């Protein structure tokens, strides 16, 4: 796994505080922020995020339901809404980052419970133990 993927998964799994992630994200150039949001969106889809994950993700992200990314995530057609969230203006990026990290956390928890336990070999699920058993993405 590359360093960015490790960071995003550690944030989603609460192995690093979200404030540390926000600080890291804000320090990135605008182009890199966009890349991170795109990568997060892909990780969420790969983790089988659903429309039903939206409200819990908004809650975990600490966003008000009226914030633009929060409104979008609860509107259905998740793949369409993720694209809109990723392409929001610069002043919405931190909220979008917080929301997508939370969405990855919610969907990956469910995936881990349903499909991975107890024999999981995904490298990103071994971060808490400090064991990285291969290369992969979220």
Give pLDDT tens digits for 44-101: 999 999 999 999 999 999 999 999 999 999 998 999 999 999 999 999 999 999 999 9
Q: Is the pLDDT of residue 10 over 60?
A: yes
Backbone angles phi, psi at 62, to 5 degrees: 75, 25
**Half-sphere exposure in the Cβ direction for 7 (13 Å, CA):** 16
Number of domains in the chain: 1
Which single residue is written with the structure tokens 């994200």?
25
Q: Structural domain of residue 119, as residue ranges?
A: 3-129
Q: Which residues contact 90 (CB under 8 A, 6 or more apart)?
A: 30, 33
Quickly state the pLDDT bin for 137 (edges 50, 70, 90): very low
Q: Tell me, yes or no, whether 137 lies in a domain.
A: no
Q: Tell me, yes or no, whether 138 lies in a domain.
A: no
Q: Is the pLDDT of residue 125 over 60?
A: no
Q: Tell me, yes or no, whether 110 lies in a domain.
A: yes
Q: Tell me, yes or no, whether 118 lies in a domain.
A: yes
Tens-place pLDDT, residues 100-123: 999 999 999 887 766 666 665 544
Q: Which residues contact 136 (CB under 8 A, 6 or more apart)?
A: 1, 122, 123, 124
Q: Tell me, yes or no, whether 134 lies in a domain.
A: no
Q: Tell me, yes or no, whether 114 lies in a domain.
A: yes
Backbone angles phi, psi at 134, to 5 degrees: 140, -175
Q: Tell me, yes or no, whether 113 lies in a domain.
A: yes
Q: Is the pLDDT of residue 1 over 90?
A: no
Q: Tell me, yes or no, whether 45 lies in a domain.
A: yes
pLDDT for res 79: 93
């Amino acid at each position: 796994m590359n360093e960015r993927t490790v960071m995003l998964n550690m944030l989603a799994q609460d192995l690093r505080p979200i404030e540390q992630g926000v600080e890291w994200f804000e320090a990135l150039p605008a182009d890199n922020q966009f890349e991170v949001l795109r990568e997060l969106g892909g990780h969420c889809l790969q983790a089988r995020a659903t429309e039903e994950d939206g409200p819990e993700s908004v809650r975990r992200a600490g966003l008000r339901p009226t914030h633009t990314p929060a409104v979008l995530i609860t509107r259905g057609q998740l793949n369409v809404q993720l694209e809109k969230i990723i392409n929001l203006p610069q002043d919405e990026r931190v909220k979008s980052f917080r929301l997508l990290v939370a969405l990855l956390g919610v969907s990956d928890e469910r995936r881990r419970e349903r499909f991975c336990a107890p024999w999981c070999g995904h490298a990103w699920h071994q971060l808490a133990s400090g064991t990285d058993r291969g290369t992969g993405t979220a």
